[in-house]
Amino acid sequence: MISNAVKLIKDIDKKKSNWNERSQFKIKSVGNLSVSDLDTLELYATQYISNAQKGRAGFKGLMQPRGSIEKVLSKYELA
């Protein structure tokens, strides 16, 4: 599943590169995401990769994701 987390980070980078101050983002049909939401998703993906490399599962050290963040992570099979 590390590959899914890497893909999420790449998708976030693509969205951010097309950013303007009025942008609202949509990832995997989950809409109305803000820049802050994208930053949070990147944090979760990075933590997921770090934990997987240490033999742990999930987002140990972070709170359980909720709302749109959880929906996007589920679409990438990370939650």
- pLDDT, tens digit, for every residue of 41-69? 999 999 999 999 998 888 888 899 999 99
What is the C-alpha to C-alpha distance for residues 33 and 25, in angstroms, rounded to an integer?
5
Q: How many structural domains comprise the chain?
A: 1
Q: Letter for the amino acid at 45? A: A
pLDDT given at position 24 = 81
Alpha helices for the chain (secondary structure H):
2-17, 35-53, 67-75
pTM over 0.75: yes
- Residue 47 structural domain: 2-75
